[in-house]
Structure 1
Amino acid sequence: MVAVKQRNMILLLLFIGWAIGNFDRYFINYAVLSITKDLQLNPTSTGLILSSFFAGYALMQIPGGWLADRLGSRRVLISSVLMWSIFTALTGAVWSLGSMIIIRFLFGIGEGGFQPASSKLISQTFPTDKRAWAMSIMLSSGGIVSLIVPLLSAYMLTTIGWRTSFLILGGIGFLITILFWVFIKLPADLKDEEKTLAGDSHQGIFKQIIKTPLMLNLFIAYYSIYAINWGLATWLPTYLVNVRGLDLISLGWMQTIPGLAMIFAMYLAGYVIDKLPLGKEKVVGAMSCIVVGVLLYLMYNAPSVTTFVAYQTIVIIFISFVMLLLPAIILKRLPSSVTGTSIGVANTGGQLAGFITPLAIGFIVQTFNGSYNAAFGMLIILAIICTISLLTLNLQKGELLQADA
């Protein structure tokens, strides 16, 4: 059993690691405005840049989870942070569209193992009734980052430029790698458990997970909610500047409001999800997706930027709840021995959405001569799909997998 002090240290480090990884992912959405000008890119090429990270990230989800179950969460976490730090720094040295796409793809490969491995580590070190709370603490760093990135990005881009900014972010990543190496330590009993799971007893679990109807629904739900999230995150800065007429500084201040909402939503969601009776998760999640769909329609048709941001803020609250609910179902329903692989399988859907959605929106906007009508319509349809996938979630099948494991 992990001591409270040690598991709190682990959670702090996961919080910091997730924060710097998210900073880079959000920063590129603002930096791409400068990158597009420097490299003379069209909207479709911009979409390729935004999507290339998610291609690598999605491809690494299942291998990353499998490696965390087989080799141990600590090794995968340290390797992940080190690799993404290298390619974050290299982003500042790109010279063409092709080099940018390759480096961002490899950055995605590096970061791809972090969430499956961190989820496994949480399941190993926290009791069941604290796992959603622990996950909410880690994921809330994304909300904090989304709060400071708009303002800090505007400052960095107008002072030191995007190339130097990526070099600095890479350097910070190297420091975090050292912290992970020094301070993340597992007790002897957990190390022995990981060695046991690396043996023959773990063979066949991957096939069981893939065939479980629970995982198929979660895969679709992950895809849908993350498509909405990253569709908004990657294209809203460009939309608000080009369509709504905001400058970078005004954009930065306006986007601090949804950032605050995300932080609040993550902490509240962690508490609420841990209190939900088993079996009620899918109903509450489906209702949240319905609200997201309605608010997306109202947001796009908002008569002013202020009203737009107000609707966006509420959308972020419900999206954050669903994004925490989905991994919490796995953490609570499945044993820690298969958590890494299970999160990897489900989160592959989310990261495929991160790859496809920015590219699709870029293509749609270019096809419709700068109009975002069809793009927002696509996001609303995805909210409906997420609702259906959660309502049809078969939680009993997850319990069967737990019994088999």
Structure 2
Amino acid sequence: MLGITKDLGLSASATGVLLSSFFAGYALMQIPGGYLADRFGYRNVILISVLMWSVFTVLTGSAWSLTSMIVIRFLFGIGEGGYFPSGSKALASWFPQNERSRAMSFMLASGAIMGVITPILSTHLMTSVGWRSMFYMIGACGIVITLLLFFFLKERKADALPGMATEQAAVKPKAPLKTVLKTPMIWNLFLAYFSVYAINWGLNSWMPTYLVKARGLDMTSVGYLSAIPAFVGIFGMLLSGYILDKLPAGKDRLAAGILALVTGGLLYLMGSASSIPMFIAYQCLVGVFFAFISTLIASASLKSMPAELVGSANGFINTGAQVAGVLTPMLIGFMVDAFGGSYNAAFIMLVAFAALCAGALFTARAKPAAFSGLQARTAAYEESTGGTNI
């Protein structure tokens, strides 16, 4: 982002708007993407999402002004937006209940892995070939991945369990989104996901600029330092999935709420850290706790909702995360400009989001009784057949 802002001559506020434009499109596509996955299958939605991601990555390298970049990044978000809800539905189709947190943690960890690779790779590419060529190269790799998915990604729908066709039909909704919106726990998860991702997007989008402008580091050093918390986050993500599959229902949300409060304290310490090593150490702990909280929220609907609702449910929940992606970078940009380049107000805002996340998790209700009976019978059947629901 530093290379783009310098080339296009963007202010902090304009940079915030640019960062948010992608998430605006991405957020708008979450609910439609989940519906399309439930209606037409996750394979088709995933293929289209990855293809559109690749095309708009290439087009990003062709942007000539702030306006053109905003439009491209907005359409970029629209194109990619169906990936997460359709991927969630794929996990619900392939994995039994007691393995879905681990499956989700692997899916989320792919993003954490790129969080390690991207800062290092992008800084080297920007300094060697420029940011435009960098986007061309990454987009070409995406097109190759799309072709591989076309040949190797398969659709696999859950079969009706013996003796349960009537019960399945009784809970299968005619209006998936309406049914999702009537589930109180989904609203809590939406708010919690919004809050925790407000922290995540705030740190990911602005910490490189903060380290350069407020801490005086060069771009290469920032690239390596930014990779450290992301690398730690990979292990946190994978470990969190294993732990969550072992925790009793309800205890997982309590633990995540406590970690959200601790995260708020760590964010305060980050803002007042006296040295770069301490700053990075606090950020690493924030990354580990973020991994646990985000994995819990993303896998909760996979465990508590019928398979027919998973795409719509996670599409709605993830809308909260993407709305945070729209608002947080812009808010931080405006705050930095308003306070003369100081980031103190931005850190205070992130602490408040941590408290909001904790409150949403502490007050989350149990899953609906209508779904609980079906899920219990499904789990019993899985156990009797060796742990498979397909």
1:107 aligned onto 2:76:
yes
2:66 paired residue number: 97
Aligned mates of 1:36, 1:324 — CA distance in 2 = 33
Identity percentage of aligned residues: 50
Amino acid at match of 1:374: A
1:400 aligned onto 2:364:
no
TM-score by length of 2: 0.91
1:53 paired residue number: 22
Contact 1:335 1:402 in 2 (8 A): no
Contact 2:188 2:361 in 1 (8 A): yes
1:269 aligned onto 2:274:
no
- Pairs within 5 Å for 1:217-296: 217-296=188-267
Match of 1:166 among 104, 121, 135: 135
Deviation at 1:299, TM superposition (A): 1.0
Aligned mates of 2:302, 2:153 — CA distance in 1 = 20
1:96-146 CA distances to partner (integer Å, 9 max, x unpaired)?
Answer: 101000000011011110000000000001111111111111211122111
1:77 paired residue number: 46
Deviation at 1:190, TM superposition (A): 5.8
Aligned mates of 1:242, 1:94 — CA distance in 2 = 25
Deviation at 1:205, TM superposition (A): 2.5
**After TM superposition, where is structure 1 displaced by more than 3 Å over at least 4 residues in a row?**
187-191, 399-405
TM-score by length of 1: 0.87
1:194 paired residue number: none
Match of 1:359 among 330, 337, 343: 330
Aligned mates of 1:189, 1:349 — CA distance in 2 = 28
Aligned mates of 1:159, 1:315 — CA distance in 2 = 32
Match of 2:178 among 207, 211, 223: 207
SS at match of 1:395: coil
1:150 aligned onto 2:150:
no
- Output the aligned Cα RMSD: 1.8
Aligned mates of 2:242, 2:175 — CA distance in 1 = 35
Match of 2:354 among 380, 383, 388: 383
Contact 1:65 1:343 in 2 (8 A): yes
1:215-244 CA distances to partner (integer Å, 9 max, x unpaired)?
Answer: 111110010000000000000000000000
- The 1:381–1:188 alpha-carbon spacing in structure 2 relative to 1, beyond 3 Å, is closer
Aligned mates of 2:367, 2:73 — CA distance in 1 = 39
Aligned mates of 2:286, 2:231 — CA distance in 1 = 13
Contact 1:134 1:270 in 2 (8 A): yes
Aligned mates of 1:261, 1:312 — CA distance in 2 = 10
Deviation at 1:41, TM superposition (A): 1.1
Aligned mates of 2:370, 2:74 — CA distance in 1 = 37
1:178 aligned onto 2:147:
yes
Aligned mates of 1:187, 1:140 — CA distance in 2 = 23
1:350 aligned onto 2:321:
yes
- The 1:188–1:394 alpha-carbon spacing in structure 2 relative to 1, beyond 3 Å, is closer
2:387 paired residue number: none
SS at match of 1:41: coil
2:388 paired residue number: none
SS at match of 1:302: coil
Amino acid at match of 1:57: Y
Aligned mates of 2:189, 2:371 — CA distance in 1 = 14
- The 1:187–1:62 alpha-carbon spacing in structure 2 relative to 1, beyond 3 Å, is closer
Moved more, 204-213 or 226-235: 204-213
Aligned mates of 2:128, 2:12 — CA distance in 1 = 25
Amino acid at match of 1:352: V
Gaps of 5+ in 2: 161-167, 376-390
Contact 2:93 2:158 in 1 (8 A): no
- Aligned residue-pair number: 366
- Pairs within 5 Å for 1:308-327: 308-327=279-298
